[in-house]
């Protein structure tokens, strides 16, 4: 399919869905009965068609069995959901406030956890987050206890969401048609549950294409003509446990920077909350570890930057590095003859063993404490990428790897965005080289000097 045709389809889809969402939003506010009726027909017709399409596509694909069966089960669940909506609309309508209430309670809990992180790290914005959590909790509790009273408020909020989402889509269509008039990009995230499903959907899609094309990653790799990238965003994809949520790294040349909750001696809630740890790796060894040792897939999005944008990113990274302190894994401690705990089989120890990784913790600031829903790997990358003028509007205050992947993928489809390449990394792409950068990273004493001398050597601040 040519780029021009893809662009026409992309713009047409944005216009149609944008208008549809605006109409839905207006009806939700002014004519709630009509809104519910249209939503009912959309779901009762659209979900079965979508489910059937997914099941048929999965059945005739040459994908490996576990991905094929998982995709068929997903399609069947979507199909059944559509039939349930069609056959039992009143029951679905009656439990909707309960479902929204439970969803809101979960969102309130996330806000309370986020408040705890901000409070313990003494960050600004604590009061706003606490008020947000309380409001979510009260409205959600009312929906569960007495769904009739707050129903109009929920419909009003839904209406605003649909209208805003529709306007953003129309704006994106306008930007795609008139790229030279683009000044600032605003994107809305998907609902949280869709964000978490996105990495798994991508895994199924990538595996299907690779199996049909003989495992050649080139079929999923694209570059915009005559454009090179200065920074690469790496999206990790998996299907089990926290891997199914995804992960995001940033790479500058042959250096990869990653952030996560890697000190398993100081974590809570299964690794969802803990000390924030940032680490540096040589790219080829890191890719080999992630793909072959951890059995993940990677999508890389290349970002083209101006000199001014590079300077701003360098300033941000240097500011972060000024709050780094050395941290050693159990494996590192064992190699140095220091006391250690366990068998050195945790993620950080394995990473250090295979890649000779350099780890740091934050002494203060926003990333001192990691929280999977907010202060996560995506926020760190977005903090850097935001300096290049690409901003992701966090409607829920939550950005997941799935939302970020969708955002970057959409940006790549636009001719004049600074997302200039998209590459799928597979085992066949991994070529381990004896890069001296491995030793440079492992022996790093000053992260400030490392950033100045190796990551942004030719960029003056």
Q: Higher pLDDT residue, 297 or 251?
A: 251
Distance CA 163, CA 22 (A): 4
For 101-114, the pLDDT digits (tens) are 888 898 899 889 98
Residue 72 has pLDDT above 80, yes or no: yes
pLDDT score for 395? 45
Strands 255-260 and 247-252, bridge-based pairing? antiparallel
pLDDT score for 101? 85
* 291 SS3 class: helix
Both structure tokens of 455: 């990551």
pLDDT score for 389? 60
pLDDT score for 242? 47
Q: Higher pLDDT residue, 227 or 45?
A: 45
Averaged pLDDT for residues 24-46: 89
pLDDT score for 404? 80
First-last CA distance in the chain: 43
Both structure tokens of 369: 């404490």
pLDDT score for 241? 47
Q: Higher pLDDT residue, 411 or 240?
A: 411
Averaged pLDDT for residues 118-130: 90
pLDDT score for 193? 47
- Kindly state the percentage of the chain with pLDDT values over 70: 80
pLDDT score for 403? 74
Averaged pLDDT for residues 305-318: 91
pLDDT score for 329? 95
Q: Which of 3-17, 105-119, 136-150, 321-335 has the lowest mean pLDDT?
A: 3-17
Both structure tokens of 427: 């085992």
Residue 173 has pLDDT above 70, yes or no: yes
Distance CA 107, CA 113 (A): 10
CA angle 170, 171, 175 (to 5 degrees): 120
Residue 156 has pLDDT above 90, yes or no: no
Residue 244 has pLDDT above 60, yes or no: no
8 Å CB contact between 237 and 203: yes
Both structure tokens of 420: 């200039």
pLDDT score for 179? 60
Give the helix, strand, coil percentages of the chain, each rounded to 5: 60, 15, 25
Residues with Cβ within 8 Å of 1's Cβ and at least 6 positions away in sequence, in order, are none
Both structure tokens of 18: 């944008």
Count of alpha carbons within 13 angstroms of residue 327, beta-carbon side? 24
pLDDT band at 201 (very low <50, low <70, confident <90, very high): low
pLDDT score for 281? 96
Residue 47 has pLDDT above 50, yes or no: yes
Residue 296 has pLDDT above 90, yes or no: no
Residue 176 has pLDDT above 60, yes or no: yes
Residue 382 has pLDDT above 80, yes or no: yes
Residue 231 has pLDDT above 50, yes or no: yes
């Amino acid at each position: 399919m040519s780029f021009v045709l893809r662009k026409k389809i992309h713009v047409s889809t944005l216009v149609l869905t944008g208008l549809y969402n605006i109409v839905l939003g207006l009806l939700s506010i002014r004519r709630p009965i009509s809104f519910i009726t249209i939503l009912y027909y959309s779901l009762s017709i659209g979900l079965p068609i979508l489910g059937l399409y997914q099941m048929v596509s999965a059945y005739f694909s040459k994908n490996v069995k576990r991905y094929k069966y998982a995709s068929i089960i997903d399609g069947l669940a979507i199909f059944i959901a559509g039939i349930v909506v069609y056959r039992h609309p009143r029951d679905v309508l009656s439990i909707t406030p309960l479902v929204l209430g439970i969803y809101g309670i979960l969102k309130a809990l996330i806000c309370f956890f986020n408040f705890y992180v901000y409070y313990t790290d003494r960050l600004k914005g604590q009061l706003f987050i606490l008020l947000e959590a309380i409001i979510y909790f009260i409205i959600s509790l009312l929906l569960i206890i007495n769904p009739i009273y707050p129903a109009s408020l929920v419909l009003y909020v839904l209406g605003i969401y649909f209208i805003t989402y529709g306007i953003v889509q129309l704006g994106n269509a306008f930007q795609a048609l008139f790229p030279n008039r683009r000044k600032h990009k605003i994107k809305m995230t998907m609902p949280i549950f869709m964000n978490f499903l996105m990495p798994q959907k991508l895994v199924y899609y990538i595996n299907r294409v690779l199996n049909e094309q003989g495992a050649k990653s080139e079929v999923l790799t694209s570059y915009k003509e005559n454009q090179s990238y200065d920074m690469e965003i790496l999206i990790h994809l998996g299907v089990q446990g926290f891997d199914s949520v995804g992960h995001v790294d940033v790479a500058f040349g042959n250096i990869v920077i990653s952030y996560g909750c890697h000190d398993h001696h100081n974590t809570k809630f299964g690794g969802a909350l803990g000390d924030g740890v940032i680490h540096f790796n040589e790219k080829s060894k890191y890719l080999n570890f992630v793909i072959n040792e951890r059995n993940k897939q990677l999508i890389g999005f290349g970002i083209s930057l101006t000199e001014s944008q590079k300077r701003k990113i360098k300033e941000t990274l240097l500011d972060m590095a000024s709050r780094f302190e050395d941290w050693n894994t159990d494996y590192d401690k064992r190699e140095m003859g220091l006391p250690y705990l366990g068998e050195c089989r945790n993620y950080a120890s394995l990473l250090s063993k295979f890649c000779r990784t350099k780890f740091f913790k934050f002494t203060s600031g926003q990333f001192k404490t990691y929280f999977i829903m907010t202060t996560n790997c995506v926020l760190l990358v977005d903090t850097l990428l935001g300096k290049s003028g690409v901003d992701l509007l966090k409607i829920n205050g939550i950005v997941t790897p799935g939302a970020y992947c969708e955002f970057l993928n959409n940006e790549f489809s636009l001719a004049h965005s600074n997302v200039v390449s998209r590459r799928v990394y597979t085992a066949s792409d991994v070529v381990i080289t004896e890069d001296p950068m491995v030793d440079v990273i492992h022996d790093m004493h000053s992260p400030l000097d490392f950033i100045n001398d190796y990551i942004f050597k030719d960029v003056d601040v």
